[in-house]
Amino acid sequence: MKNSRQLTPINKDEQRRPLIVTPLVGKDRYELLAQLDEIVNKKPNVIEWRIDFFTDLHDTTGVLQVTKEIHERAADIPLLFTRRSSREGGENITLTEQEVFDLYEAVVQTGFIWAIDVELSSEQANIDRVVEFGKVYGVQVLMSYHNFERTPSKQEIVQKLTEAKEKGAHIGKVAVMPTSVEDVLTLMQATQEAAAGLPIPIVTMSMGRLGALSRMMGGACGSAMTFAVGSESSAPGQIPMEELQTVLDVVERVMEE
């Protein structure tokens, strides 16, 4: 069925502050729903279900049921459905890539999710498959690239975001690991250039302790989302949502003066 939920508005020409995304990383239904209750009370803009933390991925019916429960209990907060592969820093799972994309297809058809994350490192046929089903069922496709080893050059980062657009993404995402403040600045410069040059919203971040700077200031450079801890973190460098909200309030006020 079509996704009847109001899509989170991401207007790259008008948005003044990034949407706050908080992850669900529970290993089973009970952990997930407990985390969800805690997160919903904090009212993030988007909830991300990191399904690679979930232990029962082989049970497609069970995954769809949990997706429905999250949808119903999320108080109209849109859901981003994400499997982060181990090659890009995610948890090890026993599903094959074919099974992962079969699961994607089943979830997209429910109408319970707002967007789905597909890694740029995936096979092109699988990417095309999700893009097509996204069109049919009204689900946004976020295409992502993660580098836990280093920060590529500004040109490489911009190219990854451009590649996402060319492959049919509604949103492009890049997350990289810095070893210096200069690396964080490289990421933010690339963000500014890509945000100005691409017609789709982009999401960028540096990870780890140093990278927290980008999570707080990335919106000023054009990043449309930032990830924060609502219950438990899903990546290094995420900071508590309450603290991030305060920083974003200050940044927004200063930018408007």
What are the residue numbers of the active site? 146, 173
Distance from C-alpha of 192 to C-alpha of 28, rounded to nearest angstrom:
39
**Who's near 132: CB < 8 A, 6+ residues apart?**
none
Q: Are residues 58 and 237 in contact, defined by beta-carbon separation less than 8 angstroms?
A: no
Q: In what helix (H) or strand (E) does residue 75 lie, and over which residues does it extend?
A: none
Distance from C-alpha of 214 to C-alpha of 86, rounded to nearest angstrom:
24
Closest CA to 178 of 218, 143, 224, 232: 218
| Buried-state track 79-106, b at ≥16 Cβ within 10 A, e below 16 | bbbbbbbeebbbbebeeeeeebbebbbe
Distance from C-alpha of 250 to C-alpha of 231, rounded to nearest angstrom:
23
